[in-house]
A and B are shown apart, each in its own frame.
Chain A
Amino acid sequence: MELTTDVTNLWSEGDLNKFRRMTLIWGATVLLLLPILASLGYFMRMFQSNFFPHMRPEWFYAVLTLHSLGMVGTWFVGGMAGVSYLLTQYTHPSLAISKLNYWGTLVGVLLLVACTLGGLFGTGWYFLFPLPLYSQGVWQPWATVTFFVALAVLGLCWTIWTLDLLRAIAQRYSLKAALGLNYLLGKPGPDVPPLVLISTVSLIVSFAGFVAAVIVIVLFGVDALGYAIDPLLMKNLTFFFGHILVNITMYLGVAMVYELLPSYAGRPWKTNRVVAIAWDAVLFLILFAFFHHLYMDFAQPRWVQTFGQICSYFLAVPAGVVSIFGCLALVYASKMKWTLASVLFFLGIMGWGVGGIAAVIDSTVEVNFHFHNTLWVPAHFHTYYLMGVVLIILGFIDHLGLEVSKLQESPPRTKAIITLLLLGGYGFLSMFYWAGAHSIPRRYAVYPNELAQGTLYARVAFGFITVLLCGILLYLWETGKRCIKAFSA
């Protein structure tokens, strides 16, 4: 990428190498966690297929909790690590804070493993109030305490990381510049890479999400002390945090594509007024889009639900449509260099589009009456995760490995990886969509006779996940080699 300003004074070669090495460590960790966490999903679909008739359903819910939190956390840190590395071209993020986050995240993950697999803590990622406090003997109080300690550790580390990246951006860009307000107002100003604009928006919003998480944890403590807390408030705060975290992870991935895909297309992908409007709108709209998680909470006033639907629509349109259209325009008639990384970037953006359309459908109140808590919900968020940000981050790790190791890829293996990922991924997702459209509920460990087709869909999905896992393993083989060589380099 051609930089628009002289940043050679930002980094010494040694420091940059250290930062690159740290990013490789993050990448390797993500690659290690991916098959483990994917296997947990594999286990859950097997459970729903009735492959373990004698196993307690509590195991399903404990694994569900670890899988969901693990995946959300893994791709968030993957996105943060990737964006931090790419921001080194323009700013100076702290290596020490990246390291602190690495160890903090490891501690948090270990605590999560302890409370879920060791203590059968099984509330799901949303730990909806007051469920963690009423285990009915399924898990012990220590598991609840461990879970909240894990959340606190992760939340603290990630908040520090967020603030550090914002600090790094602020040291080189004014707020006006970082938010692309020059473009909005049509005034002269510096060139602002989309990476900086999207990162600034995402980091400000993610800080708000972490504050909401802190409030939720504190209120859980207040309730545990005997003061009643409004469950509706808790649900609002929980989904404020959760929805933002998931969306921000996606945006971090998109920021990486804005930065890296032009190098494969041989064309710039610059910030302009439309891009600035789209991403600045996110800053406001994302604060209210989470209301679509509470459509079935009838105590929420109707105007809130309506506002939630409007914000959900407008949140999807600017950022999603502008980015997808921009990506297509970038690739169209270009001398695109299709490699494993660039294909994954492209497919990731398109996957975001597919999942986004499914999300917009579900965020329509009338539709949500039918789809709420059916498998349509995991269908859409698995789409923009698995076929969206996961592919983008896998693409980034491959890009980084290739950049450092210079180890060229094998086109047949690249084709095989892409084919397996697409076939397994979309096949697996199609079973979620199909089941959701047929009102199969989510979060059932085993389907009763009345929902026997849910078991059938789970078995078909099991087959597709097998294909997907083969694709992931082949990718790990291919990219792993480059990462190992990159370490030695």
Chain B
Amino acid sequence: MHQSFLGLSATRGHAGSSLRKSVEPGKPPCTRLARLGFALCLVLGFAGCLQAQQSAGKPSDQPPNEDFYLYKQVPDITVQDKAGSTIQLSQIWRDKPVLLTMVFTRCTGVCSPFLNSLKSATSAAGGLGTDYRVLVLSFDPKDSIADMNGMAEDLGLKSNAAWIFGIASPPEIRRLAEATGIWFRWDASVQQYDHPAVVVAIEQGRVVRMLAGATVPVTGLMEVIQELRGKFVASYALPGKVAFRCFEYDPRSGHYTLDWGLLLMVLPATFAILATVWIFFLLPARKRIADSFPVARTY
């Protein structure tokens, strides 16, 4: 599958040269027309193929819904890594859990800042290489191993064995993207792919968490890594600013800290004590039994 992907790139190069030849002077018109027609057919045909391979999933303004993809099986695709050797995705995840993300090297938008953010976050979170690895795949059929190596080099990650930069055949990339909630769509008007920035945590071939957003928060990544280590993380992230939380979860330590909301939990008992004190000690009482009938008691 991957060989056909490489073959496609080569053919496109050939088509380009055909077009250039079609405008050479001194050739018979019919020959020129025939060659021009042939070249146009090739261009249109390949363009059609490319269009089919350049999108996956359903575009959305919202980040992928993690709930929909949790514990879903990830397809075992063939990946060509930065050394040029092919490897099954299952071989990667069987060895260690994987953080998967998809980018394209021509990206003028989020890809590079996003990968830089992921790099910083993994450095801060720790455990890279020992507990998990990062797999960066391109969804752009134009990207070659050389392109991905160039991207790794730009990020200073080429020699980092914990970071795997690779490519795969377009159909397999599409399968993988659709199984993990990642979508991409070629936007001809800007000559760029439209796509979300997503990190998918995969353990033993199943999606266990997803992080979406142009930057990767260290605390969020730490939670994900804790889950990849097999630890149960019971955080309760809530959208927006939430007043009166009971607890805060610290993913660095894995511990909970008490938060201001707990004060509200103390209020009922506090009011009950105050009311009891008020009623029994401050309100005027009639002659109390305790005062008037002391009884000697044996136990």
Binding site for B on A (CB under 8 A): 4-5, 90, 92, 163, 166-167, 170-178, 182-183, 186-191, 204-205, 207-209, 211-212, 215, 219, 222, 227-233, 236-237, 240-241, 272-273, 287, 298-301
Contacts and interface: CB of A to CB of B under 8 A. Distances in A.
B106 to A, nearest CB: 40
A207 B290 CA distance: 24
Interface string B250-294: 000000100001001101110110011001110101101111011
Contact of B286 (A171, A230, A237): A171
B290 A230 contact: no
A190 B246 contact: no
Nearest to B247: A301
Contacts of B289: 5, 90, 172-173, 177, 190
B188 interface: no
Given A219-B264, A240-B268, 18 more contacts: A163-B275, A163-B279, A172-B286, A174-B280, A177-B288, A190-B294, A190-B295, A211-B267, A228-B241, A229-B243, A230-B261, A231-B236, A231-B238, A233-B261, A233-B264, A236-B265, A237-B264, A299-B234
A230 B268 contact: no
Interface in B202-245: 232, 234-236, 238-245
18 contacts: A171-B288, A173-B290, A183-B297, A190-B293, A191-B293, A207-B272, A208-B269, A208-B272, A209-B268, A212-B267, A219-B244, A228-B243, A229-B242, A230-B238, A230-B245, A232-B246, A299-B235, A301-B256
A237 B240 CA distance: 22
A228 B280 contact: no
Contacts of B281: 175
A170 B283 contact: yes
Nearest to B233: A298
B30 interface: no
A175 B280 contact: yes
A207 B275 contact: yes
Interface residues of B, number: 42
Given A175-B276, A186-B299, A230 B294 contact: no
B296 interface: yes
A165 B57 CA distance: 66
B242 A230 contact: yes
A5 B293 contact: yes
A428 B124 CA distance: 59
B290 to A, nearest CB: 4
Contacts of B246: 230, 232-233, 236, 300
Contacts of A177: 288-290
Interface of B: 232, 234-236, 238-247, 249, 256, 261, 264-265, 267-269, 271-272, 275-276, 279-281, 283, 285-286, 288-291, 293-297, 299
A204 B272 contact: yes
A426 B235 CA distance: 42
A211 B275 CA distance: 11
A227 B243 contact: yes
Contacts of B293: 4-5, 190-191
A215 B265 CA distance: 9
A299 B236 contact: yes
Nearest to B264: A215
Secondary structure of the A contact surface, majority rule: helix
A211 to B, nearest CB: 4
A246 to B, nearest CB: 16
Contact of A188 (B241, B268, B271, B295): B295
A273 B299 CA distance: 8
B238 A208 contact: no
Contact of A287 (B232, B269, B279): B269
B232 A167 contact: no
Contacts of A5: 289, 293
Contacts of A211: 267-268, 271-272
A230 B280 contact: no
B238 A228 contact: yes
Contacts of B275: 163, 166, 204, 207
A188 B294 contact: yes
Contact of A167 (B235, B279, B296): B279
A288 to B, nearest CB: 10
Contacts of B268: 208-209, 211-212, 215, 237, 240-241
Nearest to B291: A174
Query: Considering residues B234, B271, B279, B294, which has the most beta carbons from chain A within 10 angstroms of its beta carbon?
Result: B279
B232 to A, nearest CB: 7
B244 A191 contact: no
- Minimum-distance CB pairs A-B, first 3: A298-B234, A299-B236, A208-B272
A11 to B, nearest CB: 13
Contact of B243 (A207, A212, A230, A232): A230
A166 B279 contact: yes
Contact of A222 (B243, B261, B288, B296): B243
Contact of B265 (A172, A237, A272): A237
A48 to B, nearest CB: 29
Contacts of A90: 289
Contacts of A205: 272
B239 A228 contact: yes
B176 to A, nearest CB: 30
Contacts of A230: 236, 238, 242-246, 261
A207 B271 contact: yes
Contacts of A237: 264-265, 268
A178 B281 CA distance: 13
A190 B289 CA distance: 7
Contacts of B241: 228
A170 B264 CA distance: 28
Nearest to A187: B297
A291 to B, nearest CB: 11
Nearest to A192: B289
A207 B294 CA distance: 30
Contacts of A299: 234-236, 247, 249
A161 to B, nearest CB: 13
Contacts of A240: 265, 268
Contacts of B291: 174
A171 B280 CA distance: 8
Contacts of A233: 244-246, 261, 264-265
A50 B170 CA distance: 52
